[in-house]
Amino acid sequence: MLLKLTREGLGRLIVFGDWVSRPRPVKRSARAQESVNEAAAALSLYQFHACPFCVKVRRNIHKLNIPIELRDAQGDTPFRQELEAQGGRVKVPCLRIEEEGEVRWLYESDDINVYLHQRFSGI
């Protein structure tokens, strides 16, 4: 119980720290941003609000200015069940990627950030 509270408190502190120190999002031409927005429609991030690994990925998403849908998988939610049933396990963050009719579930915050950088930082 105490451990859970400490973890939750620390998570919230990290969320606050992120909020006060967020980097500015990149600016693109309207056309480039539109193409990013279109690509982002095929992505969604399964996450917990106060998870430090999720904060790391959300920070990157914010900086790269990608409108990715965030899906809260904490508690007994449909998104949690979806993550477990289709992704294979409840671990966040996890990026759901739809590609040519196929769905891929990418776990690990570092791998997600590398993927997003490779795909969006040059646009």
Ligand X SMILES: N[C@@H](CCC(=O)N[C@@H](CS)C(=O)NCC(=O)O)C(=O)O
Shortest separation between residue 43's beta carbon and ligand X, angstroms:
16
What residues numbered 20-49 form the site for ligand X, per CB under 6 A? 48
Residue 72 CA: distances (Å) to CA of 76, 102, 108: 10, 22, 16
Rounded Cα–Cα distance for residues 73 and 57 (Å): 15
Q: Count residues binding ligand X (CB under 6 A).
A: 9
> Is residue 109 a contact residue for ligand X (CB under 6 A)?
yes
Q: How far is the CB of 91 from ligand X (least distance, A)?
A: 4
d(CA 90, CA 80): 7
Residue 50 to residue 76: CA distance in whole angstroms: 16
- 60 forms bridges with which residues in the sheet? none
Q: Out of 15, 32, 70, 90, which residue is the one contacting ligand X (CB under 6 A)?
A: 90
Q: Are 41 and 48 in contact (CB under 8 A)?
A: no
Among 66, 92, 95, 116, binds ligand X (CB under 6 A): 92
Q: Which of 84, 91, 97, 105 binds ligand X (CB under 6 A)?
A: 91
Looking at residues 50 to 89 of the shown chain, list those that interact with ligand X (rule: CB under 6 A).
51, 53
Contact residues: ligand X, CB under 6 A: 48, 51, 53, 90-93, 108-109
